[in-house]
Structure 1
Amino acid sequence: MQSDYAGVIVAGGYGTRLAPITHVLPKVLVPVGRRAMLDILVDQMTHLGIRDIHLLLGHQAGLVRAYVDSSPHLGELASLTLHTDTGDLGTAGPLRRVHARARHLLVMNGDVFTTADLGALTNRHASDGSALTVATTEFTTTIPYGVLHSDDRSRLMTVDEKPSLEWAVSAGIYAVGPEALALVEAGGPDEMPGLIQRCLKHGLQVSTHRLTGGAWFDLGTEDGYRSSLRHSESRDATDPVPAP
């Protein structure tokens, strides 16, 4: 149980990378399998024992409110607070609108679909005593050319044909403590990369946590969204959220 956490779903952007789908639906209502992303995210948080959940909205906020109002099961799972004017505040700026009793926030981007073990992230954040913990996933880039390695006299030594490079990248999921929240800029937009840099500048501990135990997809792109649909179909399940 994560009673010391409040949940935050960041879903105020325009979703331009997923157009034209997001011309009709806000990205947090885009379906994955038979369910809207909002249902999946709320389920994931409540499975962790989080009952206070804040939706940071902007673009098409009215559609999200209408969906919540017509979905009584969401209210049975958690107390949902909708902040409808945060779309221009970036990925970190809206956090200053969240007034929760819990000391820590589990922040999830509304266009991230994962079946990984999020409890491991919140537990790691607590055990490390970090001000902010960034969930990571692996991203692989393949260079479509032969890469040449020469010595200092320009003599060719080796050739790597179309090598692949693997990077640890932010998964769009964060555990944020009170020390980090205090560094969110007071006015105007603020972004998570900037907040992370300020935490480091102030000497606060920032940790990373590699997501394990499931898949991760960026629904902000057409390729990522299609991959999430294929993954959901391959599981042949009506509920893509793992059991707690």
Structure 2
Amino acid sequence: MRLTTLTGEDLRRVCVRTDQSVRESMAVMSDAGLRLAPVLDAESGRFYGVAADGDLRRFLAANGSLEAPVSDAANRNPVVLEEVLNPTEVRSRMLWRGIEYLPLLRGDRLEALYVLWTVSAPERLTAVIMAGGLGSRLKPLTDACPKPLIKLGGKPILTHIIEHLRNEGVGRFVLSINYLGDMIVDHYGDGASLGVEIAYVHETSRMGTGGALGLIDPATLSEPFVCLNGDILNDLDLNALRERHLSSGWDATMVVRDHNYTVPYGVVRKTDDGSFVGSEEKPTMVFQINAGIYMLSKSVLPVVPKGRFYDLPTLFEDMRTRDLRSGTFTHQGRWIDVGTREEYERALDIFEAGY
């Protein structure tokens, strides 16, 4: 999903005043192609609230009039932003709150309206999700429940992942399952309840993060397709990843992210002969780490061995001996590996905070 910021004249065109009617407000929203209009006080111009299509429908269903002032139907306490953040963080907050519109206020004045647009991909993507792990690091939570079904914010981890990818243009999912896999099949079925198509491959033994690719019929995959671990919560812009993959001519693209590490000691710099050059107390070093998300072309599938354990980072190493190209895509947004108890607790805190 792509973030747009409406300001100035673009913002004024999508706003309505408290003395405008519900009918007029619906026309403003229709003309703008939005499902929400910020509402401003007719006299002072101060921010009053928002009128979403759901607010207006509920008002009319309760015998409200189309000619009534929109102030009668508006939501006076919407989610708003009262600090200027970089676009990546704004997008993250909106995705995690599940909202498409976010007003930015400066005091009691509307400064901007952030809008998340769903971008239609030229081809509906397929996502392969590795969901067969034992979840050993999350025991005892996984003693009787597969890791993908552990709940966060009232929904299983895997549901959060599927819903995000669906909103990014993924229409078909292949879930690789093993440990307590029948519970995953029983929960999701064919995916119709989530508005997607879900198929399954069953690992009979541990196959790593890439071995299951050898079990999948290539004809069932899109070109390219996305592959990821089933415990990675993220707000990745999948269309941007796809564009980078295709425009670079890569056969495989690994998503990476920055990871800061603070050395707990003073670091000394010296010459080869031992002469002192300088020192830095507890410096922070930045490394790029594998985020566990990949965009792959079908050209890499012959590299994957059949029926044995194989990790996707190994695929990138093996590609170097073939006539295949690989690259990286840096993700600066939210990313949580829920595979450990510590990270799971952090994710719980984030969901409780609402973003």
Residues in 1 aligned to 2:272 and 2:207: alpha-carbon distance in whole angstroms:
49
User: Could you list the per-position Cα deviations for residues 122-165 of structure 1 after superposition, in whole angstroms to 9, with x for gaps in the alignment?
Assistant: 22112222100111111112221112222333233222211121
Instruction: Please list, as runs of the form range in 1=range in 2, the aligned pairs for 1:171-186 lying within 5 A after superposition.
Output: 171-186=291-306
Q: In the alignment, does 2:200 pair up with 1:89? A: no
Instruction: Tell me if the contact between 2:215 and 2:306 (Cα under 8 Å) persists in the aligned partners.
Output: no
What corresponds to 1:242 in structure 2?
A: none
> Cα RMSD over matched residues?
2.0
Change in 2 beyond 3 A, CA 1:151/1:49 = closer
What corresponds to 2:107 in structure 1?
A: none
Change in 2 beyond 3 A, CA 1:131/1:155 = same
User: Could you list the per-position Cα deviations for residues 72-126 of structure 1 after superposition, in whole angstroms to 9, with x for gaps in the alignment?
Assistant: 513xx11111222255111111012222152222111101001232221122112
Could you say which structure has the larger radius of gyration?
2
Residues in 2 aligned to 1:222 and 1:142: alpha-carbon distance in whole angstroms:
22
Residues in 2 aligned to 1:10 and 1:126: alpha-carbon distance in whole angstroms:
23
RCO comparison, higher one (Cα < 8 Å, 6+): 1
Give the superposition deviation at 1:70: 10
Q: In the alignment, does 2:162 pair up with 1:31? A: no
Residue 78 of structure 1 aligns to which amino acid in structure 2?
Answer: V
What corresponds to 1:222 in structure 2?
A: 341
What corresponds to 1:239 in structure 2?
A: none
Q: How many residues align?
A: 233
Residues in 1 aligned to 2:299 and 2:266: alpha-carbon distance in whole angstroms:
47
Query: Secondary structure of the residue that 2:292 maps to in structure 1?
Result: strand
User: Could you list the per-position Cα deviations for residues 24-61 of structure 1 after superposition, in whole angstroms to 9, with x for gaps in the alignment?
Assistant: 32121122222212211221222232222100011111
Instruction: Please list, as runs of the form range in 1=range in 2, the aligned pairs for 1:19-168 lying within 5 A after superposition.
Output: 19-69=139-189, 73-74=193-194, 77-85=195-203, 87-99=205-217, 100-168=220-288
Give the superposition deviation at 1:63: 1.5
Give the superposition deviation at 1:17: 1.9
- The one of 171, 190, 208 equivalent to 2:328 is 208
Give the superposition deviation at 1:186: 2.3
Residue 201 of structure 1 aligns to which amino acid in structure 2?
Answer: T
Query: Secondary structure of the residue that 1:166 maps to in structure 2?
Result: strand
Residue 96 of structure 1 aligns to which amino acid in structure 2?
Answer: G
Change in 2 beyond 3 A, CA 1:86/1:170 = farther
Q: Normalization by structure 1: what TM-score?
A: 0.88
Residues in 2 aligned to 1:8 and 1:87: alpha-carbon distance in whole angstroms:
18
What corresponds to 1:240 in structure 2?
A: none
Change in 2 beyond 3 A, CA 1:101/1:151 = closer
Residues in 1 aligned to 2:225 and 2:192: alpha-carbon distance in whole angstroms:
24
User: Could you list the per-position Cα deviations for residues 183-213 of structure 1 after superposition, in whole angstroms to 9, with x for gaps in the alignment?
Assistant: 111231111111111112213110100113x
Residue 225 of structure 1 aligns to which amino acid in structure 2?
Answer: Y
- Please, which moves more after superposition, 145-154 or 91-100? 145-154
Instruction: Tell me if the contact between 1:10 and 1:57 (Cα under 8 Å) persists in the aligned partners.
Output: yes
Instruction: Tell me if the contact between 1:136 and 1:171 (Cα under 8 Å) persists in the aligned partners.
Output: yes
Change in 2 beyond 3 A, CA 1:151/1:66 = same
Give the superposition deviation at 1:235: 2.8
Q: Normalization by structure 2: what TM-score?
A: 0.62
Give the superposition deviation at 1:71: 7.5
Residues in 2 aligned to 1:5 and 1:72: alpha-carbon distance in whole angstroms:
17
Change in 2 beyond 3 A, CA 1:9/1:70 = closer
Gaps of 5+ in 2: 1-119
Runs of 4+ in 1 over 3 A off after TM superposition: 69-72
Instruction: Tell me if the contact between 1:31 and 1:37 (Cα under 8 Å) persists in the aligned partners.
Output: yes
Query: Secondary structure of the residue that 2:300 maps to in structure 1?
Result: helix
Query: Secondary structure of the residue that 1:22 maps to in structure 2?
Result: coil
Residues in 1 aligned to 2:323 and 2:192: alpha-carbon distance in whole angstroms:
44
Query: Secondary structure of the residue that 1:168 maps to in structure 2?
Result: strand
Change in 2 beyond 3 A, CA 1:102/1:162 = same
Residue 85 of structure 1 aligns to which amino acid in structure 2?
Answer: E
Instruction: Tell me if the contact between 1:12 and 1:86 (Cα under 8 Å) persists in the aligned partners.
Output: no
Q: In the alignment, does 2:192 pair up with 1:192? A: no
Query: Secondary structure of the residue that 1:182 maps to in structure 2?
Result: helix
Gaps of 5+ in 1: 237-244
Of all paired residues, the percent bearing the same amino acid is 27
